[in-house]
Amino acid sequence: MVKDDLRLTDSKKYAQYKSELEEYLGKRKKLIEDYQAAYPNKLKRWQDHHGDLRRLWNDLSKIYPNWIDAVKGPICQRISEISGTEYLINTRKYRTKGIYERRLEASNAAAQLALDERKAWIAAPQQIDAALTAHDGLIKAIDDLVPGRQQGQAIYTFWFKLLPDHVRVGPERPGAEFPSFPPQDTGAAWLCPVQDDTVTTPPEDGAFPPKPTAPGKRAPWLVPPEDYGDKLDAAWIAYDAARQAAVAAEVEFKRQPDDTDTISARLKDLNKTLEQRIADALTGYGAAAAAVSQKGNGDHTAD
C-alpha cells in the first residue's frame, strides 16, 4: 500500500520533473557552449579583483593590525544576537511539530536547496557576472572609506562581504600566482563560528532542531570549462535524489499526519461527537446490567 501511494504521488510530480529534465537536456549543449565562451572574461575579472583584494588586505592589516579584536567584539556579537534569536524561534516552532511533520519539512528544505543549486549552475554565467559586478562596487566602497573617519566600516565590508564571496566565486585551481588568503580571513563562518545556542532555549520537552552549521560553498563558481557539464549533471542527479526523498516523506506524513492542524481538527470532531459516542458506548449497557441483576436475585431466592 505504501509503495502504491509512493508511485501515485511520485507520478504526479515526476511528470513535471520529466518535462524540466527534457528541457534541460535539449539546451545542455548550448549552456556548455555559452559557459565556455564566457569563462575567459569572467576568469580575467576575478583575477583582477584578486589583485585588488591582496592590496586591500595588506592596507587594512597595516591600518588595523589588531582588526580581529574588532571582529570578535562588535561584529560577532551582533551576528550572534541574530543567529541566537533565530535558533530560539526555530526551536519553539520545532517543538510544536510532529515527528512526520518534522521529517517532511526537513526533506522539503533539502529538496529546495538542491533545486536552488541546480538552477544556479544552469545560470552560472549570469550569476557569476552579477557577483563580480557586486565585487566591483564593494572594492570601490572600501577605497572610498580608507582613509577617512568611517574607515572602520571597511573591516566589515572587506572581511564579511567582499572577501568571502570573492573566495566563493573563485576558480577551483587559481594557480600559484594567485595565492589564497589565510583560512581564518575568508568570512563570517571562520571569523564568527556558529555558537551552540541550545543554552539560550528552555529545555521543555528536550527537542531541539538541527543545530546551525557553517554553510557549504554556494554555487556557482568558476569551474574549468571542461568540467561545467559534469557540474550541471551532478546538480540534476542530486536534485532528483532529494526530490524522491521529499516525495517519500510526504507519503509517510499523509499516512500518519501529526501536524497541529490535523490534531486540532481531530479534537474538534471528538468534541462535536462526544454525546453520540457516549450513547453508542452505553448502548445495551442497561439491559446487560439488568440481566446481571436478575441473575443475582435469582441466585439469592434459591438460597
* Beta carbons of 157 and 195 less than 8 angstroms apart: no
The reported pTM is 0.80
Among the residue ranges 30-39, 175-184, 247-256, the one predicted with the least confidence is 175-184
Alpha carbon separation from 282 to 203, 277, 291 (Å, rounded) = 43, 9, 15
Alpha carbon separation from 139 to 33, 53, 170, 175, 247 (Å, rounded) = 31, 8, 16, 22, 45
Q: What is the mean pLDDT of residues 1-27?
A: 71
Residue 156 in grid coordinates:
566589515
- What is the rounded distance in angstroms from the CA atom of residue 37 to the CA atom of residue 223? 13
Residue 9 in this model has a pLDDT that exceeds 60: no
Q: pLDDT-based confidence at 211, cuts 50/70/90?
A: low
* Beta carbons of 13 and 247 less than 8 angstroms apart: yes
- What pLDDT shows up at residue 147? 81
Tell me if the bond preceding 203 is cis, omega within 30° of 0.
no
* Beta carbons of 272 and 126 less than 8 angstroms apart: no
Residue 87 in this model has a pLDDT that exceeds 90: no
Residues 6+ apart with CB under 8 A from 218: 120, 168
Query: Which tens digits make up the pLDDT trace of 48-85?
Result: 999 999 999 888 888 888 877 777 778 888 888 888 88
Query: Which tens digits make up the pLDDT trace of 107-157?
Result: 999 999 999 999 999 999 999 999 999 999 999 999 998 887 888 889 889
- What pLDDT shows up at residue 173? 77
Residue 133 in grid coordinates:
559586478
Query: Which tens digits make up the pLDDT trace of 284-297?
Result: 776 666 666 666 55
Residue 184 in this model has a pLDDT that exceeds 80: no
- What is the rounded distance in angstroms from the CA atom of residue 16 to the CA atom of residue 3? 20
* Beta carbons of 153 and 64 less than 8 angstroms apart: no
Query: Which tens digits make up the pLDDT trace of 223-243?
Result: 999 999 999 999 999 999 999
What's the Rg (C-alpha) of the chain? 31
* Beta carbons of 199 and 88 less than 8 angstroms apart: no
- What pLDDT shows up at residue 298? 58
DSSP string, 46-69: HHHHHHHHHHHHHHHHHH-TTHHH
- What pLDDT shows up at residue 250? 94
